[in-house]
Amino acid sequence: MKITFYGQNCLGIKIKEKHILVDPFITGNDLAKDKVDVDSLKADYILLTHAHQDHTLDAERIAKRTGAVIVSNFEIASYYEEKGIEVHPMNHGGSWNFDFGKVKYVIAHHTSSFPDGSYGGQPGGFVIEGEHKNIYIAGDTALTLDMKLIPLSTKLDLAILPIGDNFTMGIDDAVIASNFVECDKVLGVHYDTFGFIEIDHEEAKRKFYDANKDLMLLAIGESIEL
C-alpha cells in the first residue's frame, strides 16, 4: 500500500493497482495548488469523509475526468449521482468489499454541509483493509469514544488523524485517539492549511514521541509505503 499526501485531508492511496483518492482539495489550497496537478491525479475511487469544501472541492472535476466512483455517505453520494457521477453510497457502521479491499464507514464527530448549503448527511471516517495492511482515516472529528470500537474489528497499521485543532482534534487529543484505536503509527493531516490550524511541527512530533508513538508529517506530494 502506497500513501501520498496532497495537503489538508487529501490522500492518494494505491492498493492492488487501484488508485483511491481521499477528500480532494487542491485548487483551493494555497499550499498544494502549485505542487499538485489536479488534472493528472489518478482515481478509480474517490472517498469523501464529509461535504465541507476543504474535502470535496475538486471531487466533481476529478470524477468527471477519470470516471472514478465516489464513495461516501448516502446524502453525499446522492448529491454527486445527480451530477451524473457513478457513486457507491454507504452509512455509518457499514462495510463493503471493493476490488481493492474492504471499506467501513465509521463515526466522526463533526458537521457536514456542502458550500451551497446542501445537506451533506453525517460526517464519517474510513477504515480500509487492503493488501494485508489496514488503515484508519479519521476525517474531521473530535476525539470520540467511538474510536475504541475500531480495534475490536481491525488491527491497524496506520492511523491518519487530524491534528490542526480548532475545527478538529488537536495534537493532545490525537495522541489519545491513537491509544483508542491502538495504533502507534500516525500520519498527521488537517494542519497548516489556514491560519486557524497552523501547528508547531516539532512540538507535535515531540508529544507523540513522548507517548512512545511515531507521528509522520509528510511534505505535500511525499509518499510512504506500508
Tell me which of 14, 19, 52, 185 binds Ni ion, using CB under 5 A.
52
Q: Which is nearer to Mn ion, 54 or 129 (CB)?
A: 54
Distance from C-alpha of 87 to C-alpha of 135, rounded to nearest angstrom: 22
Task: Tell me which of Ni ion, Mn ion, none is bound by residue 173, counting a contact when its beta carbon lies within the kind-specific cut-off of 5 to 8 angstroms.
Answer: none
Contact status, residue 43 vs residue 11, Cβ threshold 8 Å: no
In this chain, which stretch among 34-42, 72-80, 137-145, 192-200 interacts with Mn ion, using CB under 5 A? 137-145
Residue 198 has phi, psi (to 5 degrees) of -70, 140
Site string for Ni ion, 100-139 (x = CB under 5 A): ----------------------------------------
Distance of CA 4 to the CA centre of its chain: 11
Residue 15: CB minimum distance to Ni ion, A? 25
Residue 109: CB minimum distance to Mn ion, A? 13
Q: Which is nearer to Ni ion, 52 or 213 (CB)?
A: 52
Residue 24: CB minimum distance to Ni ion, A? 14
Residue 140 within binding range of Ni ion, rule CB under 5 A: yes
Cβ contacts of 12 within 8 Å, gap of 6 or more: 2, 3, 4, 6, 19, 20, 21, 22, 41, 42, 223
**H-only helix segments in the chain:** 53-56, 59-66, 74-81, 150-153, 171-180, 201-210
Within 22-81, the residues that bind Mn ion by CB under 5 A are 54
Buried-exposed string 63-91: b where 16+ CB fall within 10 A, e elsewhere: beebebbbbbbebbbebbeeeebebebbe
Among 34, 26, 20, 21, which Cα is nearest to 8's? 26
For the chain, the residue count is 226
Residue 140 within binding range of Mn ion, rule CB under 5 A: yes
In this chain, which stretch among 35-43, 66-74, 83-91, 138-146 interacts with Mn ion, using CB under 5 A? 138-146
Contact status, residue 1 vs residue 185, Cβ threshold 8 Å: no
Q: Which is nearer to Mn ion, 15 or 204 (CB)?
A: 204
Residue 122: CB minimum distance to Ni ion, A? 12
Residue 217: CB minimum distance to Mn ion, A? 17
Task: Tell me which of Mn ion, Ni ion, none is bound by residue 75, counting a contact when its beta carbon lies within the kind-specific cut-off of 5 to 8 angstroms.
Answer: none
Task: Tell me which of Mn ion, Ni ion, none is bound by residue 165, counting a contact when its beta carbon lies within the kind-specific cut-off of 5 to 8 angstroms.
Answer: none
Q: Where do contacts with Mn ion occur on this chain (CB under 5 A)? A: 54, 140
Binding site for Ni ion (CB under 5 A): 52, 140
